[in-house]
Chain A
Amino acid sequence: MVVQALAFYLFATVAVLSATAVVTVRNPVHSVLLLILTFFNAAGLFVLLGAEFLAMLLVVVYVGAVAVLFLFVVMMLDINFVEMRQGFLNYLPIGVLIAVVLFVELALVGAGWTLTDGAVAVLAQPTPAGLTNVEALGQLIYTDYAYIFQAAGLVLLVAMIGAIVLTLRHREGVRRQKISEQVKRNRADTLEVKKVPVGRGI
Chain B
Amino acid sequence: MELLWDGYIEPLVWIVAKILAIVVPLLVAVAYLTYAERKVIGAIQLRKGPNVVGPFGLLQPLADGLKLFLKETIIPSSANKGVFIIAPMLTFILAIIAWAVIPFDEGMVLADLNVGILYIFAISSLGVYGIVMAGWASNSKYAFLGALRSGAQMVSYEISIGLIIISVLLTTGSLNLSDIVRGQTGGMWEWNFVYHFPMFIIFIVSILAETNRAPFDLPEAEAELVSGYNVDYSAMTFALFFLGEYANMILMSGLCAILFLGGWSAPLPFLEFIPGAIWFILKICFVLFIFLWVRATFPRYRYDQLMRLGWKIFLPLSFAWVMLVATFLVVFDKVPA
**A interface vs B, CB < 8 Å?**
2-3, 27, 29-30, 33, 36, 52-53, 56-57, 59-60, 63-65, 68, 71-72, 75-76, 132-134, 177, 179
Instruction: Write out the residue numbers on chain B whose beta carbons fall within 8 Å of the beta carbon of A3.
Output: 8
Residue of A nearest to B162 (CB): A60
Contact B125 A59 (CB under 8 A): yes
- CB of B125 within 8 A of CB of A60, answer yes
Q: A63-B126, A64-B126 are in contact. Are A52 and B115 (CB under 8 A)?
A: yes
Question: Cβ of B232 < 8 Å from any Cβ of A?
Answer: no
Output the least CB separation between B106 and chain A (Å): 20
**A134 and B126 contact, CB distance less than 8 A:** no
Assess A68 versus B151: contact at CB under 8 Å? Given A36-B129, A60-B122, A60-B125: yes
Please indicate the chain A residues that have their CB under 8 angstroms from the CB of B122 in the complex. 56, 59-60, 63-64
Chain B residues whose CB sits within 8 angstroms of the CB of A30 once the complex forms: 83
7 closest cross-chain pairs (CB), A and B:
A64-B125, A56-B118, A59-B122, A60-B122, A75-B136, A56-B122, A52-B115
The answer to whether A68 touches B132, judged by C-beta atoms less than 8 angstroms apart, is yes
- Tally inter-chain residue pairs, CB-CB below 8 A: 62
- A30-B121 Cα distance, complex, nearest whole Å: 25
A134, closest chain B residue (CB)? B175
Sampled A-B contacts (21; CB under 8 Å)? A3-B8, A29-B80, A29-B136, A30-B83, A52-B113, A52-B114, A52-B115, A56-B119, A56-B121, A57-B118, A59-B125, A59-B126, A60-B122, A64-B158, A65-B125, A65-B155, A71-B132, A75-B132, A76-B148, A132-B114, A134-B115
Within 8 A of A (CB), among B129-162: 129, 132-133, 136, 144, 148, 151, 155, 158
Main secondary structure of the interface of A (DSSP, over half): helix
Q: Does B77 lie at the interface of the complex (its beta carbon under 8 Å from any beta carbon of A)?
A: no
Contact pick for A72, options B113, B148, B158, CB 8 Å: B148
> With A29-B136, A60-B121, A134-B115 given, can you name 15 additional A-B contacts, CB distance below 8 Å?
A3-B8, A29-B80, A33-B83, A33-B133, A36-B129, A52-B113, A57-B118, A64-B158, A65-B155, A68-B128, A68-B129, A68-B132, A132-B114, A133-B114, A179-B308
In angstroms, Cα B25 to Cα A19, docked, is 38
Alpha-carbon gap, A132 to B174, bound state (A): 10
List the B residue with the shortest CB-CB distance to A1: B7
Contact of A133 among B80, B115, B129 (CB under 8 A): B115
Bound Cα distance A133, B158 (Å)? 24
- Among A60, A63, A65, A132, the most chain B Cβ lie within 10 Å of the Cβ of A60
